[in-house]
Amino acid sequence: MTDKLTIALAQLNPTVGDFQGNLDRLREARKAAAEAGADLMLTSELYVCGYPPEDLVLKPMFIDSVRAAVTVFARETADGGPAVLLGAPWRGDDGRVYNAMLLIEDGAIAAERYKVDLPNYGVFDEKRVFAAGEMPGPVAFKGVRIGIPVCEDIWTPDVVECIAETGGEILLVPNGSPFELGKTDQRQQLGVARVVESGLPLVYLNQLGGQDELVFDGASFVLNADRTLAWQMPAWREKVAITHWSKKDGAWVCAPGETVAVETGDASLYQALICGVRDYVNKNGFKGVLIGMSGGIDSALSAAVAVDALGPDRVHCVMMPSPYTSRESLEDAAEASRLLGVKLDEINIGPAMGAFSEMLAPFFEGTNSDITEENIQSRSRGMTLMALSNKFGYMVLSTGNKSEMSVGYATLYGDMCGGYNVLKDVYKMSVFALCRWRNERRPSGALGPEGAVMPERIITKPPSAELRPDQKDEDSLPPYPVLDAILEDLIENVTPIADIVAKGYDPETVLKVWRLLDRAEYKRRQAPPGVKVTLKAFGRDRRYPLTNAFHGAYMASPVSKAAE
């Protein structure tokens, strides 16, 4: 039995489904850990296949391939280097598939532990694909009894309590915990709660990187049994931390290591957007992205994030003026592109609008010009961007923010064209704040330029879709501070309408926003995926039927009765 342990924490960025690539990254990390004298290396949840693998787990071939890759890797650990606690989807002896942690030691799998508490809410669907494990006891490693609760297993006390009661000495917790604003604090509070209840030190190791709509921030940490923070690893960056442990008076203590400051607020939000775009584009093999650059704030911020994620050479902006495009917009698009150092092309959509007008004239005879023609403008832009995408292999980024996606203020097959949306989960008021934030500093790790990246006028001018003369967003929507506050209550807080009105908002406005939100579900279902940053992003976090005759929320409200 030892009284000293060196544990390497591998905060790495796996790609879902890329077992070989993920294991190669792990081999490199293990080599570095071996050089640092590590006894054991911990990976994040399901590291070998990346988290979340979703329905891939239901394919027997996927599970068989994982086993084959892990078997090869396990043999390599006979080299005298560190043992590895590896996350993998694993078929147990009973034939069922578990979300497992494998202790791989001296060339073989020495122990298996299965996740007990399978999250099945929000974006998580683990009960759909995994069997739940039995309450686990610790595993023995060099005579030390190590408890391995997996991610959700520490969100309630039971699993850790069982580990402590069965003699656990250290808690090593692998996670696949997606970023949300404010989640770093929440995780640390949970960690402290489990440490206090069990009296055991706890290692929280999280995945890094983007996977479709989710971004994993890393930000792993180590808490000693006295609740002190021994290590705080960085967010948004791969790192292998070498932690040194010793047994004093019968209890394990981690020697103090690095405690870096983790970004919060706008800084963390901006980093999350960079991570989402960078990994979506790179992991899917795109050369770069295309953005319709209108001279407005949403496209300017989307372009800034894309440049910070990919570098200016991989971002191609296109200004597509119509007869309604103002000189101001042309100037602002040009200046924002110049500041970002990106290529800006100008393609006039007037001829496309003219062609549609001519084609449709015999059929539209006797009708007035209305939203139909406005949408043709938007769709002419979408068509143009998609043509460039097909020809040159760049993916289109759509630019609608969460406020617009909430109320359906976007055109199907028009400005909603695209493969990915940077701002899908960012309310308009946050868009303003992020622009100001980015103009003041370049985020760490960003590939964009130092200094301001968008002209002040883009931030201060009133938002406009410019689909008809003098159009302003506020002609159709409540002012953004009001709209966003109501939306946040309706979406994130699920606040009853009467309670929102009781806060002092105009009842008609609240009802209008609710109706718009309710009705736009069909549009959101056809929208590109985008980075989740809030508690409740559109998509898997918030699932409503499209065909839905239930409007009870406003019918039942005394306010709505008064308003009807």
Ligand X SMILES: Nc1ncnc2c1ncn2[C@@H]1O[C@H](COP(=O)(O)OP(=O)(O)OP(=O)(O)O)[C@@H](O)[C@H]1O
Binding positions for ligand X, 325-354, rule CB under 6 A: 325
Q: Is 177 annotated as a binding residue?
A: yes
Given the rule CB under 6 A, which of 80-88, 222-230, 253-261, 296-304 is the region that contacts ligand X?
Answer: 296-304
Q: Which residue of the set 49, 105, 112, 151 is catalytic?
A: 151
**411 is in the binding site of which of ligand DND, ligand X, ligand GLN, none (Cβ under 5 to 8 A by kind)?**
ligand DND
Q: Is 414 annotated as a binding residue?
A: no
Residue 272 beta carbon to ligand GLN: minimum distance, rounded to whole angstroms: 14
CA–CA distance, 220 with 127 (Å, rounded to integer): 26
Residue numbers of the site for ligand GLN (CB under 6 A)?
A: 45, 119, 124, 151-152, 155, 175-178
Q: Which of 154, 142, 149, 174 is nearest to 9 (CA)?
A: 174
Question: Amino acid identity of 223?
Answer: L
Binding positions for ligand DND, 443-502, rule CB under 6 A: 465, 467, 476
Q: Is 294 annotated as a binding residue?
A: yes
**155 is in the binding site of which of ligand DND, ligand GLN, ligand X, none (Cβ under 5 to 8 A by kind)?**
ligand GLN
Contact 405, 416 (CB under 8 A): no
Active site residue 115: yes
Contact 169, 145 (CB under 8 A): yes
**296 is in the binding site of which of ligand X, ligand DND, ligand GLN, none (Cβ under 5 to 8 A by kind)?**
ligand X
Q: Which residue of the set 45, 105, 263, 488 is catalytic?
A: 45
Residue 543's SS3 state is: coil
CA–CA distance, 513 with 407 (Å, rounded to integer): 7
CB atoms within 10 A of CB 542: 16
Q: Which of 241, 392, 424 is nearest to 318 (CA)?
A: 392
Judged by CB under 6 A, the number of residues near ligand X is 19
Site for ligand DND contains 412 (CB under 6 A):
yes
Site for ligand DND contains 295 (CB under 6 A):
no
Cβ closest to ligand X, residue 148 vs residue 376: 376
Residue 176 beta carbon to ligand GLN: minimum distance, rounded to whole angstroms: 4
Contact 259, 228 (CB under 8 A): no
Binder of ligand X out of 463, 478, 528, 530 (CB under 6 A) = 463
Given the rule CB under 6 A, which of 264-272, 301-309, 405-413, 424-432 is the region that contacts ligand DND?
Answer: 405-413
CA–CA distance, 409 with 71 (Å, rounded to integer): 52
176 HSE (CA, 13 A, CB side): 29
CB atoms within 10 A of CB 364: 15
Q: HEC states along 449-487?
A: CCCCCCCHHHHHCCCCCCCCCCCCHHHHCCCHHHHHHHH
Q: Is 248 annotated as a binding residue?
A: no
Residue 17 beta carbon to ligand GLN: minimum distance, rounded to whole angstroms: 17
User: Which token pair is 459?
Assistant: 């931030």
Q: Which of 536, 520, 518, 538 is nearest to 528 (CA)?
A: 538
Residue nearest ligand X, Cβ-based? 296
**380 is in the binding site of which of ligand DND, ligand GLN, ligand X, none (Cβ under 5 to 8 A by kind)?**
none
Binder of ligand DND out of 410, 510, 511, 517 (CB under 6 A) = 410
Binding positions for ligand X, 367-406, rule CB under 6 A: 381, 399, 404
**283 is in the binding site of which of ligand GLN, ligand DND, ligand X, none (Cβ under 5 to 8 A by kind)?**
none
Residue 383 beta carbon to ligand DND: minimum distance, rounded to whole angstroms: 12
Using alpha carbons only, give the angle 202, 206, 209 rounded to the nearest 5 degrees: 170
Instruction: Look at the block and give the residue holding tokens 């979340």.
Output: 52
Q: Beta partners for 5?
A: 245
**466 is in the binding site of which of ligand X, ligand GLN, ligand DND, none (Cβ under 5 to 8 A by kind)?**
ligand X
Q: Beta partners for 217?
A: 208
Residue 271 beta carbon to ligand X: minimum distance, rounded to whole angstroms: 22
Site for ligand X contains 484 (CB under 6 A):
no
Site for ligand X contains 306 (CB under 6 A):
no
Q: Is 183 annotated as a binding residue?
A: yes
CA–CA distance, 44 with 220 (Å, rounded to integer): 10
Residue 526's SS3 state is: coil
Instruction: Look at the block and give the residue holding tokens 């800006």.
Output: 344
Instruction: Look at the block and give the residue holding tokens 């590590």.
Output: 38
Q: Is 293 annotated as a binding residue?
A: yes
Question: Amino acid identity of 196?
Answer: V
Site for ligand DND contains 375 (CB under 6 A):
yes
**320 is in the binding site of which of ligand X, ligand GLN, ligand DND, none (Cβ under 5 to 8 A by kind)?**
ligand X
Residue 150 beta carbon to ligand GLN: minimum distance, rounded to whole angstroms: 7
Q: Which of 324, 457, 463, 453 is nearest to 403 (CA)?
A: 463
**176 is in the binding site of which of ligand DND, ligand X, ligand GLN, none (Cβ under 5 to 8 A by kind)?**
ligand GLN
Using alpha carbons only, give the angle 217, 222, 223 rounded to the nearest 5 degrees: 125
CA–CA distance, 210 with 311 (Å, rounded to integer): 17
Q: Which residue of the set 49, 115, 254, 417 is catalytic?
A: 115
Cβ closest to ligand X, residue 5 vs residue 344: 344
Q: Which of 418, 444, 454, 429 is nearest to 530 (CA)?
A: 418
Site for ligand DND contains 98 (CB under 6 A):
no
Contact 551, 564 (CB under 8 A): no
DSSP code per residue over 186-242: HHHHHHHHHHHHH---EEEEE-EEEETTEEEEB--EEE-TTS-EEEEPPBSS-EEEE
Residues tagged in the binding site annotation for deamido-NAD(+)? 375, 404, 523
* Footprint on this chain of ligand DND (rule: CB under 6 A): 371, 375, 378, 408-412, 414-415, 465, 467, 476, 522, 546
Residues tagged in the binding site annotation for L-glutamine? 121, 177, 183
* Footprint on this chain of ligand X (rule: CB under 6 A): 292-294, 296-299, 318-321, 325, 381, 399, 404, 415, 463, 465-466
The residues that are catalytic are 45, 115, 151
